């Protein structure tokens, strides 16, 4: 049986290593499922997800120049549903109002270390004005960083 990239076939796990699992395929061929291709969640130990002799459905994701077959278990199944995003803009950014550009986002002024953005309810700013605010905030942060580097380098003891 000939395999092509994108084929989904049934196979049996024949060996487990710390970096993945070997799967025997129809036609006497075998391939490797890398640890990163076993599940959509983080896989610390392959043995937590697979056992030798287990039947698995795999997708051929690559065949290299030495005819080694790279397989994926997670790409042979549907991805898990994504959890709904929290309401209320908890992502760190407030939603943009709909309609023509009303307000905008600008870097916080005032030296906080978070580097986040805050909503400015004023009239729409032009690109040049927003760039000017960004450059001022950036220069302020750079000079603050240089000042703290000079102070911390003096603490090393004097000779």
- The predicted-structure confidence for 113-126, as pLDDT tens digits, reads as follows 445 555 455 566 78
Number of domains forming the structure of the chain: 2
In a domain, 36, yes or no: yes
Give domain status of residue 88, yes or no: no
List phi, psi (to 5°) of 87: -80, 155
Same domain, 108 and 145: yes
Number of Cβ within a 10 Å radius of residue 33: 29
Burial (0-12, 13-18, 19+ Cβ within 10 Å), 37: buried
Do 110 and 71 belong to one domain?
Answer: no
Per-residue pLDDT, 155: 57
Q: Same domain for 55 and 113?
A: no
CATH code, domain with 47? 2.40.50.140
- The H or E element spanning position 59 is strand 55-63
| Residue scoring higher pLDDT (113 or 130) | 130
Which domain does 70 fall in, by range? 8-76
CA distance 51 to 78: 21
Output the pLDDT for position 145. Answer: 77
Q: Assess contact for 92 and 116: CB atoms under 8 A.
A: yes
């Amino acid at each position: 049986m000939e395999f092509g990239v994108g084929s989904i076939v049934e196979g049996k796990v024949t060996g487990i290593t710390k970096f993945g699992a070997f799967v025997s395929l129809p036609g006497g061929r075998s391939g490797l499922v890398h640890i990163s291709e076993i599940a959509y969640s983080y896989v610390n130990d392959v043995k937590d997800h697979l056992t030798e002799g287990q039947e698995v459905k795999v997708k051929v994701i690559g065949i290299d120049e030495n005819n080694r077959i790279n397989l994926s278990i997670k790409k042979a199944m549907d991805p898990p549903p994504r959890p709904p995003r929290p309401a209320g803009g908890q992502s760190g950014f407030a939603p943009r109002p709909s309609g023509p550009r009303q307000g905008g986002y600008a870097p916080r002024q005032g030296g906080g270390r978070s580097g986040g953005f805050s909503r400015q309810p004023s009239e729409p700013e032009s690109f040049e004005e927003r760039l000017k605010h960004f450059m001022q905030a950036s220069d302020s942060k750079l000079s603050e960083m240089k000042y703290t580097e000079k102070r911390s380098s003096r603490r090393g003891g004097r000779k």
